[in-house]
Amino acid sequence: MPQTSLSVQGEKFLINGQLTYAEIDGSNPDAHGLLMNARFIQGVFDDKADPARFARFDHAVWDADQHSADLIAALPDWYSYGLRGFTVGFQGGGPCFTVNNLTIDNNPFGEDGATLDAAYAQRMDRLIRAADELGMVVIVSYFYGDQTRWLRDGRAVRNAVTAASRFLREGGYTNVIIEVANEYDISPFQQHPLLYYPEGVAALSDLARQESGGLPVGCSGRGGALNREVAEASDVILIHGNGCTRQRLYNMIQEVRSWKLNRPIVCNEDSQAIGQMEVTFQTQTSWGYYNNMTKQEPPADWSITKGEDTFFAHRMAQGIGIALPPLTGDAQYYLQGLEPHMTDGGQRWLRLASLYPETINFVEFFCNNERYYIAYDEPFAVHYQSNWRQGGVDARAGDQWRAVIHLRDGSVLER
C-alpha cells in the first residue's frame, strides 16, 4: 500500500493530509505547503547507442540499474535537509557539457510510442516506490526535446503519453506529478507540433490526466517562459528559472498569480544559483535545484557532494526552518571543479561555490598566478554562459588554480 499520498489545496501541497513541512518542529510557517525539489532527470537514464562512453568519472563500467540504485541510496540524506520532490525523465535530459545529445538513444518508447521499455519501467517503479517510503514526490517527465526524434509522428506522441500514464495508473502511485514535457517550447519539439504548440500541450495534459487516473499534471516551458493556456490545462503550474535573474523570476511568479488560477507554482528547474531561492521563499513558491555537472552528466553522483550541493541543501533547510549545525568561515566557500575525477575530454568546469552568493561582488580566477577570468554573476563560473551553463578549461597536470573572492562589504578572500 502507498505510504505517501500527495494532494493539492489551492496553491499548497499536502502529504497524507498535512501541509508539507508542517510536521517539522520549529519549521517556518511560510514554507508549509511548498515542494522543494531537485532535477534528478537522469534517474532512469540509459543509452542504447554507446553506453560504454558513460564509464567515466571514476566508474569502471556503465550500469543503468546501479545508477538508479545509487539515487535511491542518496534520497534519505536529501530528505533530511528538506527535499520533498525530484524530477526524473523517461527520456532523461541533456548531458549538456560533454556529450552531444543527438548521439544518444535514451528513448523508452517504441517508434510508434505504444510500448514502454520494461527496464525503464522497472527503474522508474523502484524510484517512485523508494520515494513513497520516505515521504517524497516524483515529478515524472515524459518527453525531452532531442529524444522525441525517435517517435514517428503525432500519433506516436499520443501513444507514448497513454503508455506512460497507464504505467503510472497501474502502479497505483499516489506520490507522482506528471510533467508532460521538459520545456515544450524549445526548437527540438518543432518536429512534433503536438508537443510544441500550447494547444497541443494542453490536449496532451488532458490525455495524461485521464489515462493516469487523475494524477496531477503540468508542463514546463523554457527558462523565463509562461503560457496561460498551458497553465490553465495544468493542476500544478511548472515554471523554469534557468537563465533568469532574480527579478525576472519574481516577475514570472507575479504574472502567474495575476491569472488567479489558485494552483501550486513549482519551479522544477533553475540552476545552481541558490540565491534564486530567496525569491521563491519570499513568494511562497517551490524551487528546483539543477546542477548539470553533479546531477545531469551520467553517471551522476547523487549524493550531497561538497560545495554547491551542500550549500543548496543548507540554504533549503534554512528556509524551511530545519535546524542544522551552521557552516561558518572557510566552510562557506569552495572552489568547485578541481576534483581529480571530474574531467571529460581533457576539460574541467571551474566555479566558486558559496553558501551566500548574494554577498559576493565578483570573483577573479588565477591559473599559475596569472589572472584567467573574472566572474560577476552567480554562480561565479569560469567561461560563464548562463546561470546553468559554462564553458570548460583544459585539465592540464600541474596547473595551480585559485579564486580571489571580492565581497560586497569590501572584504577579499582567497580559495
pLDDT digits (tens, 9 = 90+) for 175-210: 999 999 999 999 999 999 999 999 999 999 999 999
Domain boundary at 320, 341, 375, which?
Answer: 320
CATH code of the domain covering residue 182 = 3.20.20.80
78 within some domain? yes
Verify that 262 and 384 share a domain, yes or no: no
Verify that 278 and 342 share a domain, yes or no: no
245 within some domain? yes
For 345-394, what is each residue's pLDDT tens digit? 999 999 999 999 999 999 999 999 999 999 999 999 999 999 999 999 99
Residue 411 pLDDT > 90: yes
For 294-353, what is each residue's pLDDT tens digit? 999 999 999 999 999 999 999 999 999 999 999 999 999 999 999 999 999 999 999 999
> From the DSSP assignment, how many helices (H) and strands (E) are in the chain?
10, 21
What is the model's pLDDT at position 414?
96
Give the span between the Cα atoms of 259 and 127, in whole angstroms: 35
408 within some domain? yes
Strand pairing of 12-15 and 18-19? antiparallel
What is the model's pLDDT at position 32?
98
Gyration radius (Cα) of the chain, Å: 21
**Structure-block grid coordinates of residue 85:** 520532490
1 within some domain? no
Verify that 300 and 339 share a domain, yes or no: no
Instruction: Decide: 379 and 389 in contact? Cβ < 8 Å.
Output: no
21 falls in which pLDDT band (50, 70, 90)?
A: very high
H helices of 259-307, in order, are 276-282, 292-295
Verify that 256 and 111 share a domain, yes or no: yes
CATH code of the domain covering residue 402 = 2.60.40
**Structure-block grid coordinates of residue 382:** 569560469
49 falls in which pLDDT band (50, 70, 90)?
A: very high
Residue 1 pLDDT > 90: no
409 within some domain? yes
Average pLDDT of the chain to the nearest whole number: 97
How many independent structural domains does the chain possess?
2
202 within some domain? yes
Domain boundary at 320, 343, 377, which?
Answer: 320
Instruction: Decide: 88 and 127 in contact? Cβ < 8 Å.
Output: yes
Nearest to 41 by CA among 155, 183, 253: 183
Give the span between the Cα atoms of 309 and 297, in whole angstroms: 15
What is the model's pLDDT at position 271?
97
CA angle, 157 then 86 then 15, to 5°: 105
Verify that 313 and 284 share a domain, yes or no: yes
Domain boundary at 273, 301, 320, which?
Answer: 320
Verify that 242 and 367 share a domain, yes or no: no
Instruction: Decide: 163 and 157 in contact? Cβ < 8 Å.
Output: no
Verify that 160 and 308 share a domain, yes or no: yes
269 within some domain? yes
Nearest to 378 by CA among 347, 400, 405, 401: 405
What is the model's pLDDT at position 244?
97
Residue 266 pLDDT > 90: yes
Q: What domain range includes position 352?
A: 329-414
Q: Stretch 234-249: mean pLDDT, rounded?
A: 98
Instruction: Decide: 217 and 181 in contact? Cβ < 8 Å.
Output: no
CA angle, 164 then 165 then 166, to 5°: 95
Residue 41 CA to chain centroid, in angstroms? 6
Verify that 118 and 166 share a domain, yes or no: yes
Verify that 262 and 395 share a domain, yes or no: no
Verify that 240 and 366 share a domain, yes or no: no
Give the span between the Cα atoms of 325 and 307, in whole angstroms: 16
Verify that 203 and 279 share a domain, yes or no: yes
Instruction: Decide: 29 and 35 in contact? Cβ < 8 Å.
Output: no
Instruction: Decide: 181 and 142 in contact? Cβ < 8 Å.
Output: yes
Verify that 358 and 217 share a domain, yes or no: no
Residue 74 pLDDT > 90: yes
For 108-163, what is each residue's pLDDT tens digit? 999 999 999 999 999 999 999 999 999 999 999 999 999 999 999 999 999 999 99
What is the model's pLDDT at position 345?
94
What is the model's pLDDT at position 123?
98
